[in-house]
Amino acid sequence: MIAGSPPPPHLVMVPTPGLGHENPFLHQAARRIADEGIIVTYVSTDRHISQVLNRPEFVHLRSSSSSQLLRFVNLRDGMGHIAEREFYLIMRTQEVVTKLTQLLEEVVIDLCSPETEKTRSVASAPPPCCILHDMFSTWAQDVADNLQLAKHMLYVSPACCLAILFQVSLPSFCRFFVLEMHCKV
């Protein structure tokens, strides 16, 4: 950054922990946004950040020209030791969603603190301008609202799934599959 120039914009990405969500968020969106000179802080659960940082395909992200702008921060949720199947079940409970919401708010506030390097192991950054999340991390919207940040949802499921949701009414869908497909004698 040139002395006297404004700091680059900063956004926080909050994907659902899992490979199907990580690929579009990290390998497509985060990397490309950072390549444009925008600070991207990828925030997720302890388990997920650990998995991402230990994958061989992550090496190219650490060595890319945008590596200084792409940062990884875990929520410090304390659930890194839980078995994967169990982890996805408890992620759906209200208690865990409330905890993740509180932890994300702490992270976003910490990111622009001068103590960030000590507390979160990343350099301090300007306050984020928005939170980018996917359709299963909607709890991130509450954090954005509480901190008066813009929020945007990145829809990472195949377009055909969205098309089906818009074209099929749930009662007729259930009637067809439950009654006609499974109840034929």
Residues of the chain with pLDDT under 70: 1-3, 19-21, 23-24, 27, 57-67, 83-85, 87-88, 156-185
Query: For 64-80, b where at least 16 C-beta lie within 10 A, e where not — what string?
Result: eebeebbbbbbbebebe
Q: Taking the complete model, does pTM exceed 0.75, yes or no?
A: yes
Question: Mean pLDDT of all residues in the chain?
Answer: 78
At 148 the pLDDT is 95
At 29 the pLDDT is 82
Distance (Å, whole) CA 45 – CA 50: 8
Q: Whose CA is closest to 151, among 163, 165, 141?
A: 141
> Do the Cβ atoms of 106 and 93 come closer than 8 Å?
no
3-state helix, strand, coil split of the chain in percent (to 5) is 50, 15, 40
Which amino acid would we find at residue 143? Answer: V
CATH of domain 10-154: 3.40.50.2000
At 12 the pLDDT is 95
pLDDT tens digits, 123-170: 889 999 999 988 888 889 999 999 999 999 887 666 666 666 666 555
At 65 the pLDDT is 55
- List the domain boundaries for the chain: 10-154, 159-185
